[in-house]
Every structure is written in structure tokens, then in C-alpha cells.
Structure 1
Amino acid sequence: MEIKINVDEQLDGIKVVISGNDLTQMTAIAKQLQTKKSETSKFVVKTVDDIHVITQSDILMVSSFGNELTVTRNNHQQLVTRKTLKQFLNEDKSQLFVQISKATAINLNQLSRMASAFSGNYYGFLTDGTRVTVSRRYIKHILNRLEGNDENETI
């Protein structure tokens, strides 16, 4: 697949042209672009006292313990809700979050670098300097997502 991007100052907005010889693949690409455009970038987090509506980009990571999910925001505020990590990841239609261990997922846009740790594990460093441990079980999936592959792969 070849992707070309042309900037045309004369156009008002964005124009997408898909060309090729495989109608099925072109249709799938068009549907994916339409889906991405219409998806919401907000999450609703119901806590004991409040209901918070937050943008996906405002979330650094989420961690679960049983049926409680802790959502950590950019300002280090933590919100606790009754939800599993699996439920949270299923609600993430834009595939912004990636699981890094059995109980933790991070916002892929907040990942700044990764470094080797012990026993095949890695450390992930988020844009705010937070260090998280990335289990070796999830490394291949994370690398595929960073390279733009395997969005729907289940581990």
C-alpha cells in the first residue's frame, strides 16, 4: 500500500481520494476513515459522588483491581469507578489505549519511550515522566500498534 499526502492551499477542508484495483480493500479503508471521524473522544467515568466526562487525551493510564478501575489523568487526578479493564478497553473504539500488563493500560499517545528492564520486561515512560512496567507478554502487541499494525489483535 502506498500513501501520498498532498497539501493544497486552495482546498477548503480535507479531501480524501482512495484509488487502487482492490474494491474490497478500498471500501474497508473508506469505512475505517468514516468510523474514525464519527467516534467520540470522550469517556464517562462514574465515581461514588460524581459523573465525570473526560477526553481520551486527558487520560494517562488506567489500572484495575478486581471490579474497580482507577483512571489517572494528566493532572495526576485519579478517578475510581466500578468497571473492569476489559470493559474499559472494549469501550475504546478509537484504539487509543493499549494494555501493558494484566491490570494496566496506557494511552498510546502519552508513551514517550521504552527501555529494557528485567526478565524480558520493559519500562514505559509517559510524557509526564511516569514510569510503568510493561510485561513481556504485551511487548509484541504494543510494538505492532506503534507501527500501525494489528489494531484488533486479542492477547
Structure 2
Amino acid sequence: MNITFRANSELEDGEVSIVIEAKAPTAEALSVMKAAETLGRRTSQTISIDTDGRIEIVRKSAIIAIEVHGNSLILRIGTSPDSPAHALTTRDRLQHVMESLPSSDFVQISKQVAINLRHLKSLEASYSGNMTAKLTDGIDETVSRRYVADLKKALGA
């Protein structure tokens, strides 16, 4: 891998442009692109969640799981020295919230649930090829068998 810096006076202050060149779109090139994309999202340690009549500012690292319930999303927020474990409800869409979170930490484990890998304590075999993700604060989530391979890949297993 060859990394080069080139100044570009046409860019605005604070703007960064990344070009990844390879003979073909290899797994390594795609991995670098994903890492750069994740790095761009990490500029803010918080995310704003629009709840009923209020906007909550939440540390991304405190989010344990995100669950779809009907037309709402429930964000399970972990305990911290200044805040007990709680849940926030919003009308936002799972995919929209996931775009605001680092893909290296957050992974979808079913059509309705995404988890923060930093809060994952263990995985246990379940019925029908599914697994159970054991998370911090006593939260258990079912990993759909369709998403097991993606989760294992995200864990480097």
C-alpha cells in the first residue's frame, strides 16, 4: 500500500478529499474506503435524537442497541457515571440512524435490530441457526441467522 499526501488549493478549509486507486476493486481497497468513511463519521462523538418535543444529545459509545418497534425506533442507552441506563424513542428510521454511526462499531443483526459491538459480551447458539447476543446492562438480542455471517465478519471471526 502506498500513501501520499497532495495539497489541493481548490478545496475549502477543513474539506478533505480521498482518492483510492487500485487495479481493481479488491477487498483491501474496499476496506480502506470503508475505514475512511467511518473516520469521517467519527468527527462527532455524539448524535442528536429527535424524541417527542425534545432533542436528546447522546454519546455514540453509550448506545447499546437500536430496535425497530412499529413506526418507532428505541435506542437502548447504557449506564454511565452521569446517567443511568434508559431508552429513547424516536420516529427516525434505522438506516438513517445507522448512517450517523461508525460502521466499525455498529452492525445490524436482524431486520429490526442493530447493536454496538463495543457492548457485546458474548454470542450464544440459539434455535434454528439464530444466535443470542449478550450485551452490557443485561440486554439480550436475537441475531437472525441471515445476519450471523456478517456479525462474525465484523468481529473478525
Answering whether residue 87 of structure 2 is matched by residue 78 of structure 1, we say: yes
Bigger RCO (CA 8 Å, 6+ sep) = 2
Answering whether residue 136 of structure 2 is matched by residue 132 of structure 1, we say: no
2:131 touches 2:144 (CA, 8 Å); kept in 1? Answer: yes
* TM-score, length basis structure 1: 0.70
2:135 maps to a residue whose letter is: L
Match of 1:147 among 132, 144, 156: 156
Q: In the alignment, which residue of structure 1 is the partner of 2:61?
A: 57
The superposition leaves residues 61-80 of structure 1 with CA deviations (integer Å, 9 ceiling, x where unpaired) of 01112331111100331111
* TM-score, length basis structure 2: 0.69
Match of 1:36 among 32, 36, 39: 39
The superposition leaves residues 69-107 of structure 1 with CA deviations (integer Å, 9 ceiling, x where unpaired) of 111100331111111112111222x21211111111111
State the distance in 2 between where 1:122 and 1:30 align: 30
1:88 maps to a residue whose letter is: V
Q: How far 1:114 moved relative to its partner?
A: 0.3
- Rate the CA distance shift 1:147–1:48 in 2: closer, same or farther, 3 A: same
Q: In the alignment, which residue of structure 1 is the partner of 2:112?
A: 103
Gaps of 5+ in 1: 2-16, 149-155
> Aligned-residue CA RMSD in angstroms?
2.9
- Rate the CA distance shift 1:67–1:113 in 2: closer, same or farther, 3 A: same
1:66 touches 1:84 (CA, 8 Å); kept in 2? Answer: no
The superposition leaves residues 97-154 of structure 1 with CA deviations (integer Å, 9 ceiling, x where unpaired) of 1111111111111111101000100011112232211110100001111119xxxxxx
